[in-house]
Chain A
């Protein structure tokens, strides 16, 4: 199974800029046509400093949230990997044309007998903070993959 030593490991903070065009594009892609996702004037009228992102928009930053280096250290089977579940906790609106700092960590890992072998479960958690250091949302992604042979993994 994925070594429990990984639990609690934290990646380097990654700075991302949420661009208005990308937010509007995403909103259109999921059928969110409310002007607060597309039109800055409408967003301002609704009390936001800029257009806001639909609730599931942070998935577009999945790789930043998981932190690539930390993720590859887990040595999961990339071929069989699936997105098992997703959770978001919101503390404020996700505003476009603003910078955020995303810090990902390995929150948990375990194994479970599946129909065709043992499966690895890994929960990666990430906080996105605005430039005042306030957490805007927390993302929790559960990844499931077929267990791979890790007997050649180095001891630390």
Chain B
């Protein structure tokens, strides 16, 4: 399939974030930050509850891109963790193509990507380069 600058990558529901999933991600990723698992600590720091790891959202975004472009298609990916993602939020992945070029006989597509809530609140923002 051909890509052009400005193309939207289909907005897709990734999952609804749960506290169990956040705790499980802490375990499998060796994340030592107690803010993701300790409800009381999170509240004493002024948060309503525990929040998801930025890297969990990045994992959802790379899964989304590989579902579109295939296993091993990602050449580079970057995400910024400016907004917090909370339990109970339904997280959607989406993207917009910003560049298409030929590189070593292959098509390299660059896109802005992001997660957002069902209501369209931005969460994790980033960009990706993948071989189409």
Contacts and interface: CB of A to CB of B under 8 A. Distances in A.
Interface of A: 22, 25-26, 28-32, 34, 36, 46, 52, 54-56, 59-63, 82-90, 93, 140
B54 A86 contact: yes
Contacts of A28: 28
Interface of B: 14-15, 21, 24-25, 27-30, 54-56, 58-60, 62-63, 66, 71-72, 74-81
Contact of A59 (B15, B21, B29, B74): B29
Contact of A31 (B29, B55, B63): B63
A150 B113 CA distance: 38
B81 A82 contact: yes
B71 A36 contact: yes
B69 to A, nearest CB: 12
A115 B85 CA distance: 21
Which applies to chain A's interface (DSSP): helix, strand, loop or mixed? Answer: mixed
Contacts of B62: 54-56
A89 B79 contact: no
A30 B58 CA distance: 10
A55 B58 CA distance: 9
Contact of B58 (A22, A34, A86): A86
A28, A31, A55 — which one has the most chain B CB atoms within 10 A of its CB? A55
Given A55-B62, A56-B59, A62-B30, A90 B80 contact: no
A125 B29 CA distance: 18
Given A87-B78, A90-B76, A93-B72, A30 B60 contact: yes
B46 to A, nearest CB: 12
